[in-house]
């Protein structure tokens, strides 16, 4: 019986490693090692597989002491160091005040602890790569989530309200902030088998007593809700994981299709490091299920890493489908989404200087636009050069168009399809409310009819004006 359980765990991990190619190209493993049943089982069984499969992996166990449980935390730290030594490795130990991080960042202890662990694992991976002269693909981070964790996560997300991505739950791999692959070789192994593996292999894992406290939502799911559901359906965990598997396939397919739409809609000539512009006609011909993903991709390209709620997504879709050519709304973290005629524009979080400049209504250009005005035209229209001023546009400003008719500057900007959010940036050369030349925030110059002439007289007798806010 003992041998059968151990073989079952080893076989399941071997299947996961081979099928998902978790350690392909890797030569070093940075291993999250609390010393508990999960990480100890993963560590011990990976050591066995390293030998039987000739993986030639070098292990770097990492223990993080969150300073949360008094003497117990230091006992677990010492135990982790001793267990690693017994397996022939030196355990790297880090002590971080989790409570302080949670307090400073306004997050829960669980969130702070997770953030701290992954930051440290990422940094150790970076250190290993640099010190050994390795590429990032050569160093893998291994964490010990198991099949129970996956089922609990799926149920937790269903309870909170989620979509396909949330139901897909924990994946077998992802990438860290520094670009190292994070793998979960225990994800097909259930907790009961992990506990038995440790017991039958003569291992003595540390037990975190806080896992049994019901003041954490996940602990309540683990200790109360899932046991109750198992009374109704003994295989509820397996069913939740099958649901997650199906959702993962759907997610992968929609990711692939949404990537195609994103690439088709992407307007390269209007995109910058801080702006992503998408063609609205492409988006209008896209199914709503894919539109959500396309918009999240656009924001992701700008470094947006917060969750976008359904209300924000519906606002964006409404702007896409609307007949109105202009709309703008704020997203979390200072990001913006706006409609500009045939485009949807996503903007990254601006720096503080740019926030102030936008509030004033004009962003100074590195190379201001220069207006060239015919002095003959000024004389014809009885314009006193000494009374000319360069300023921002004002209500009541007008420009002369064909036939000497007047047109409101505001209407001109609409006709020019200057985005609504940028119309206030316009700077004018004006005599009273007669606008002789106007420089738009997006870099265009327009003149009153006839103010810029191309004949020889104009070239020899013209007024040159820098359309800059500093000229005001």
The one-digit pLDDT tens for each residue of the chain (472 residues) are 557 888 899 999 999 999 999 999 899 999 999 999 999 999 999 999 999 999 999 999 999 999 988 899 999 999 999 999 999 999 999 999 999 988 888 888 888 899 999 999 999 999 999 999 999 999 999 999 999 999 999 999 999 888 888 899 899 999 998 899 999 999 999 999 999 999 999 999 998 776 655 456 778 888 899 999 999 999 999 999 999 999 999 999 999 999 999 999 999 888 887 889 999 899 999 998 898 889 888 888 887 766 677 777 787 888 788 777 777 777 777 788 888 888 888 888 654 444 334 433 334 444 567 888 888 888 888 888 888 888 888 888 899 998 888 999 988 888 887 777 677 778 889 998 999 999 887 678 899 998 886 655 555 677 887 776 554 4
Longest distance between any two alpha carbons in the chain, whole Å: 105
d(CA 223, CA 213): 9
Q: Which residues contact 327 (CB under 8 A, 6 or more apart)?
A: 319, 338, 339, 420
Pull the structure tokens for residue 223. Answer: 């200790």
Domains and CATH numbers, the chain: 2-243 (3.40.50.620), 266-349 (3.30.465.60), 362-471 (no CATH)
CB half-sphere exposure, 167, CA atoms < 13 A: 18
422 bridge partner residues: none
> Is the Cβ–Cβ distance between 63 and 35 less than 8 Å?
yes
What pLDDT, on the 0 to 100 scale, is given for residue 253?
93
- Where b means 16+ CB within 10 Å and e means fewer, 244-260 reads beebbeebeebeebbee
Distance CA 103, CA 404 (A): 67
For 67, the token pair is: 């300073």
Report the predicted TM-score, pTM, of the whole model to 2 decimal places.
0.68
CA distance linking residue 332 with residue 306, whole number of Å: 8
Q: What is the spatial distance between Cα 192 and Cα 187, in angstroms, rounded to a whole number?
A: 13
Please report, to the nearest 10 degrees, the dihedral formed by the alpha carbons of residues 346, 348, 349, 354 taken in order: -90
Give the containing element (helix H, strand E) for 35.
none
Q: What is the pLDDT of residue 216?
A: 63
- What pLDDT score was predicted for residue 472? 44
pLDDT of residue 349: 61
| pLDDT reported for residue 261 | 93
CA dist., res. 135 & res. 72, Å (int): 38
**pLDDT for residue 66:** 92
Distance CA 447, CA 429 (A): 9
Kindly state the DSSP code that residue 170 receives in the 8-state scheme: S
CB 345 within 8 A of CB 275: yes
* Residue 459 structure tokens: 């070239």
């Amino acid at each position: 019986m003992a041998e059968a359980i151990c073989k079952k765990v080893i076989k399941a991990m071997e299947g996961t490693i081979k099928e998902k190619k978790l350690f392909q190209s890797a030569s070093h493993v940075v291993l999250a090692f609390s010393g508990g049943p999960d990480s100890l089982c993963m560590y011990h069984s990976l050591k066995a597989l390293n030998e039987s499969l000739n993986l030639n992996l070098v292990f770097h166990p990492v223990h993080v002491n969150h300073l949360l449980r008094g003497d117990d935390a230091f006992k677990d730290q010492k135990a982790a160091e001793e267990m690693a030594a017994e397996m022939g490795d030196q355990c790297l130990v880090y002590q971080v005040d989790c409570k302080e991080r949670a307090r400073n960042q306004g997050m829960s202890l669980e969130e702070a602890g997770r953030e701290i662990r992954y930051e440290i694992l990422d940094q150790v991976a970076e250190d290993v790569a640099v010190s050994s002269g390795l590429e990032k693909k050569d160093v893998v981070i291994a964490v010990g989530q198991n099949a129970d964790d996956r089922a609990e996560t799926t149920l937790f997300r269903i309870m909170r309200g989620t979509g396909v991505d949330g139901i897909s739950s924990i994946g077998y791999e992802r990438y860290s902030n520094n670009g190292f692959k994070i793998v979960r070789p225990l994800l097909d192994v259930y907790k009961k088998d992990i506990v038995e593996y440790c017991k039958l292999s003569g291992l003595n894992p540390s037990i975190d007593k806080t896992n049994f406290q019901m003041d954490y939502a996940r602990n309540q799911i683990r200790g109360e809700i899932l046991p109750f559901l198992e009374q109704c359906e003994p295989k509820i965990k397996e069913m939740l994981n099958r649901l997650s598997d199906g959702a993962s396939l759907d997610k992968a397919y929609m990711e692939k299709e949404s990537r195609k739409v994103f690439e088709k809609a992407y307007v390269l000539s209007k995109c910058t490091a801080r702006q992503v512009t998408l063609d609205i006609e492409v988006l209008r011909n896209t199914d709503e299920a894919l539109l959500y993903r396309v918009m999240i991709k656009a924001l992701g390209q700008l470094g947006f890493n917060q969750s976008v709620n359904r209300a924000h997504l519906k606002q964006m879709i409404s702007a896409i489908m609307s007949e109105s050519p202009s709309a703008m709304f704020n997203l979390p973290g200072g990001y913006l989404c706006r409609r500009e005629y045939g485009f949807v524009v996503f903007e990254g979080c601006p720096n503080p200087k740019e926030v102030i400049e936008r509030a004033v209504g004009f962003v100074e250009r590195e190379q201001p636009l220069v207006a060239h005005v015919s002095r003959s035209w000024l004389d014809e229209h009885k314009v006193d050069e000494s009374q000319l001023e360069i300023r921002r546009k004002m209500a009541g400003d007008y420009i002369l168009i064909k036939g000497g008719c007047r047109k409101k500057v505001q209407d001109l900007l609409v006709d020019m399809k200057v985005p609504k959010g940028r119309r206030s940036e316009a700077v004018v050369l004006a005599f009273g409310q007669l606008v002789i030349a106007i420089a738009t925030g997006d870099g265009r110059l327009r003149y009153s009819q006839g103010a810029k002439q191309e004949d020889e007289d104009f070239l020899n007798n013209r007024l040159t004006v820098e359309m800059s806010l500093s000229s005001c």
